[in-house]
Amino acid sequence: MTVVNATSIEQALSALAANPQARLIQGGTDLMVEVNFNRTKVENVVSLRRVAELRRWHLDDETSMLRIGSGVPYAEMERAPLRDYVPALAEAARTVGSPQIRAAGSLGGNLGTCSPAGDGLPVLSALDAVVHLRSSAAARDVSVHDFMVGVKRNARQPHELIVAVSVPIVQGFQGYAKVGTRNAMVISAASACLVHDARAGTVRIALGAVAPTVVRARATEAWLATQTSLVGNPKVSDTLAREFGQRAAAECSPIDDHRSTADYRRHAISVLAQRLLLRAAYESTATTKRGPQ
Residues in contact with ligand FAD, counted by CB under 6 A, come to a total of 30
String marking each residue 19-58 x if it binds ligand FAD according to CB under 6 A: ----xxxxxxxxx-x--------------x----------
* Least distance CB 288 / ligand FAD (angstroms): 34
> What is the edge-to-edge ordering of all strands in the sheet holding 65-69?
57-60, 65-69, 161-168, 130-134, 139-143
Nearer CB in complex with ligand FAD: 28/254 = 28
Nearer CB in complex with ligand FAD: 191/274 = 191
* Least distance CB 200 / ligand FAD (angstroms): 28
The residues facing 24 across adjacent strands are 46
Q: Please pick, from the candidates 16, 77, 86, 108, the single residue that binds ligand FAD as defined by CB under 6 A.
A: 108
Residue 97 touching ligand FAD (CB under 6 A): yes
Q: Please pick, from the candidates 86, 88, 105, 198, the single residue that binds ligand FAD as defined by CB under 6 A.
A: 105
Using alpha carbons only, what angle is made at residue 63 by residues 62 and 64, rounded to the nearest 5 degrees? 95
- Pick from 177, 246, 274, 255: nearest CA to 209: 255
Number of alpha carbons in the 13 Å side-chain half-sphere of residue 68: 28
Residue 104 touching ligand FAD (CB under 6 A): yes
Nearer CB in complex with ligand FAD: 187/211 = 187
String marking each residue 185-204 x if it binds ligand FAD according to CB under 6 A: --x-----------------
Residue 155 touching ligand FAD (CB under 6 A): no
- Pick from 66, 72, 75: nearest CA to 95: 75
Backbone angles phi, psi at 187, to 5 degrees: -80, 140
Nearer CB in complex with ligand FAD: 48/280 = 48
Residue 68 touching ligand FAD (CB under 6 A): no
Could you list the residues that contact ligand FAD (CB under 6 A)? 23-31, 33, 48, 70, 95-97, 101, 104-106, 108-110, 112-113, 118-119, 156, 161-162, 187
